[in-house]
Amino acid sequence: MRRIGIDVGGTNTDAVLIEAGRLLRSVKAPTTEDVTGGIVAALQRLAPGPGVDAVMIGTTHFVNAVVQRRHLARVGGLRIGAPATVSLPAFTDWPEDLRAAVDGGFWAVAGGHDYDGRAFLPLDRAAVEAAGLEMRARGLRAVAVTALFSPLTGEHEREAAEILGRILPDAAITCSHEVGGIGLLERENGALLNAALVPLAAATVRRFEAAIAALGIAAPLYLTQNDGTVTDARRAARFPVFSFACGPTNSMRGAAWLSGLRDAVVVDVGGTTADFGHLRGGFPREANAVVQVGGVRTLFRMPDLVSIGLGGGSLVDAATGEVGPRSVGYRLTSEALVFGGETLTATDVAVAAGLVALGDAARVRDLPPDLPERVMARIRARIEEHVDRVKTAAGDVTLIAVGGGAFLVPDRLAGVARVLRVPHGDCANAVGAAIAQVSGEVDQIYQGLSREQAIAAARRLAEARAEAAGAAPGTLSLVEAEDMPVAYLPGNAMRVRVKVVGDIAAA
């Protein structure tokens, strides 16, 4: 298997070439405004040669579109659950500027289900049709459909999407049960954001494919997702929200692969921030709470990260020894003292402390003699505190330090058994993209089965889904199995959630 992994970051586009479990090359190119230019430049430098089996791209393009309120489509929100739930319509508690860009109207119709899978009310098909006609009259091209308890049964959402699809044949329709779990407002927010991004995602994926084809690479394109797996380009274009947090996830997965460790704490130190996360079984531990995206509450399963304003470009106050959160960012190579600039940064302090050889060390020789020690003590204390915050249990951990600013991480830290640095650690996220696998997931209610039988049934279904998504059958393994008893139901009902992952099948 010969694969290319690409990470499109805010500053650099990194690319790596991996073959038979070995990293052959890693390169960097500046990220361009259109994203594609940076990818083309990186691929030209990488010169992968023939026989590439897959190209996996990790991009934060879609989450950036939400954060910057750019390239978003106007979305009609259809809620199925009236007369319940309507006291809080779609787009409630959205930041005003984002709502103004996305809100295409709200329609509520009767239907949806109860917690036990029985219909709350029959779906009002005539009302769905009427809503569709109004959406068409308003010229809407994107719709989000959200039904009461759809994560338990998506029946009414699918039925409504079918009706709307006939009235609005060119519209991007997102059903909420495909993007989220229990929690109506947050799941609806996810569906609305997804629908708003589908036109951008479809165009972006087309450009990626064209760029790869133009370079003569005849391999399928995959996009990386929040959970560290990939999805084929077609599905990625339909579900851009699943790529929102792929950057940090890829960097943690890359750290696991480069170090050979499956359980550890990872710190990714960049130019401006340091992200702390916890690897468990080779995957980042996911947050179980509400996650804000561009000021909107969502329930996406994202890695549980703590970010602090500490990086190689962080400003240092020579008087107080304070570090960050402001940073010179991508201007590090012109503004830091060691690079001939006039700004005292964390990198300068690290050079003065002898932690790294970068630029002209003579330019930091005249710093106050106790400054490096004071600043590094402060950095150490902050890293120790945040390693501790992401730990899931007491006891010392292994800390993998990756990213361009990893030299700021001291070798000895309280609560850390050892600090591990890995070759190519500065391209960990492109590595994480290159090694990504395909997953299959199931989240549904089973009745009248034992716990073991229910999990086994869910696992078979998840494996079938993973294979349908392109996984090689012999490589599938279980990464998550969770069962929760559902109260008040006859027949030993339980909600089972299972996830399997496997390698991409050779073309």
Partner 1 sequence: MRRLGPSDIEALATGAWILGTGGGGSPYHALLELRRLLAQGAEIRVLDPAALADDDLVAVVSIQGAPLVIQERLVDSRLIARAVRVMEEHLGRRFRAVMPVEIGGMNGLQPLLAAAHLGIPAVDADAMGRAFPEAQMTTFAVGALSPAPLSTVDPRGNEAVVTRVADWPWMERLSRRICTEFGSIAATCKAPRTGAEVKRWAIAGTTSRAIALGRAVHAARAAHADPIAAVLAAERGRRLFAGKIVEVERRTTTGFLRGRAEVEGLGEDRGARLALAFQNEWTLAARDGEPCAMTPELICVLDSDSGEAIGTETVRYGQRVTVIVLPAAEIFLTERGLAHVGPRAFGHDLDFRSAFAA
What does DSSP say about strands 22-30 and 12-19: parallel, antiparallel, or unpaired?
antiparallel
Is residue 62 involved in binding partner 1 (CB under 8 A)?
Answer: no
**Dihedral pair phi/psi, residue 11, rounded to 5°:** -105, -50
Q: Kindly indicate which of the ranges 178-186, 210-218, 345-353, 423-431 contains the residues binding partner 1, using the contact rule CB under 8 A.
A: 178-186
Helix (H) or strand (E) holding 467: helix 451-468
Q: Which is nearer to partner 1, 212 or 397 (CB)?
A: 397
| DSSP letter (8 states) at residue 432 | H
* Least distance between partner 1 and beta carbon 83 (Å): 5
Q: Which is nearer to partner 1, 53 or 155 (CB)?
A: 155
SS3 per-residue string spanning 322-359: CEEEEECHHHHHHHEHHHCCCECEHHHHHHHCCCCCCC
Is residue 120 involved in binding partner 1 (CB under 8 A)?
Answer: yes
* Least distance between partner 1 and beta carbon 339 (Å): 35
Is residue 388 involved in binding partner 1 (CB under 8 A)?
Answer: yes
Give the C-alpha separation, 407 to 401, whole Å: 8
Q: Which is nearer to partner 1, 182 or 449 (CB)?
A: 182
SS3 per-residue string spanning 157-210: HHHHHHHHHHHCCCCEEEEHHHCCCCCHHHHHHHHHHHHHHHHHHHHHHHHHHH
* Least distance between partner 1 and beta carbon 151 (Å): 9
Q: Kindly indicate which of the ranges 98-106, 223-231, 363-371, 388-396 contains the residues binding partner 1, using the contact rule CB under 8 A.
A: 388-396
Location of structure tokens 């990198």: 347
Q: Which is nearer to partner 1, 289 or 319 (CB)?
A: 289
Is residue 88 involved in binding partner 1 (CB under 8 A)?
Answer: yes
Closest CA to 6 of 433, 357, 475, 309: 433
Peptide bond into 83 cis (omega under 30): yes
Q: What is the total count of residues that contact partner 1 (CB under 8 A)?
A: 30
Binding residues for partner 1 restricted to 138-167, rule: CB under 8 A: 148-149
Q: Which is nearer to partner 1, 86 or 507 (CB)?
A: 86
Binding residues for partner 1 restricted to 215-274, rule: CB under 8 A: none
Q: Kindly indicate which of the ranges 217-225, 308-316, 400-408, 482-490 contains the residues binding partner 1, using the contact rule CB under 8 A.
A: 482-490
Classify residue 22 by burial, with Cβ atoms within 10 Å: 0-12, 13-18, 19+.
exposed
| 444, 476 contact by CB (below 8 A) | no
Is residue 330 involved in binding partner 1 (CB under 8 A)?
Answer: no
- Provide the mask over 278-307, with x wherever binding to partner 1 is found by CB under 8 A and - wherever it is not: -----------x------------------
443 C-beta neighbours (distance < 10 Å), count: 17
Is residue 381 involved in binding partner 1 (CB under 8 A)?
Answer: no
The CA-based dihedral angle spanning residues 350, 351, 352, 355, taken in that order and rounded to the nearest 10 degrees: 60
Is residue 207 involved in binding partner 1 (CB under 8 A)?
Answer: no
Is residue 427 involved in binding partner 1 (CB under 8 A)?
Answer: no
Closest CA to 119 of 161, 79, 152, 86: 152
Is residue 84 involved in binding partner 1 (CB under 8 A)?
Answer: yes
Q: Kindly indicate which of the ranges 156-164, 228-236, 385-393, 458-466 contains the residues binding partner 1, using the contact rule CB under 8 A.
A: 385-393
| 178, 149 contact by CB (below 8 A) | no
| 457, 428 contact by CB (below 8 A) | no
Is residue 114 involved in binding partner 1 (CB under 8 A)?
Answer: yes
* Least distance between partner 1 and beta carbon 133 (Å): 26
| Interface pick for partner 1 out of 1, 130, 167, 182 (rule CB under 8 A) | 182
Q: Which residues contact 384 (CB under 8 A, 6 or more apart)?
A: 413, 414, 415, 416
Q: Kindly indicate which of the ranges 55-63, 114-122, 236-244, 340-348 contains the residues binding partner 1, using the contact rule CB under 8 A.
A: 114-122
Q: Which residues contact 13 (CB under 8 A, 6 or more apart)?
A: 6, 7, 28, 29, 30, 31, 32, 38, 39, 41, 42
Location of structure tokens 């470009």: 313
| 63, 244 contact by CB (below 8 A) | yes
Is residue 96 involved in binding partner 1 (CB under 8 A)?
Answer: no
* Least distance between partner 1 and beta carbon 177 (Å): 12
Question: Structure tokens of 358?
Answer: 């970068």
* Least distance between partner 1 and beta carbon 104 (Å): 20
Binding residues for partner 1 restricted to 338-377, rule: CB under 8 A: none
Q: Which is nearer to partner 1, 93 or 97 (CB)?
A: 93
| Interface pick for partner 1 out of 340, 368, 473, 485 (rule CB under 8 A) | 485
Q: Which is nearer to partner 1, 183 or 295 (CB)?
A: 183
Classify residue 317 by burial, with Cβ atoms within 10 Å: 0-12, 13-18, 19+.
exposed
Helix (H) or strand (E) holding 42: helix 36-46
Q: Kindly indicate which of the ranges 29-37, 45-53, 161-169, 177-185 contains the residues binding partner 1, using the contact rule CB under 8 A.
A: 177-185
Question: Which amino acid is located at 34 in the chain?
Answer: D
* Least distance between partner 1 and beta carbon 209 (Å): 39
Q: Which is nearer to partner 1, 94 or 242 (CB)?
A: 94
Is residue 390 involved in binding partner 1 (CB under 8 A)?
Answer: yes
In the complex, the residues that contact partner 1 under the rule CB under 8 A are 81, 83-88, 92-93, 114-115, 120-121, 148-149, 182-185, 289, 388-394, 485, 487-488
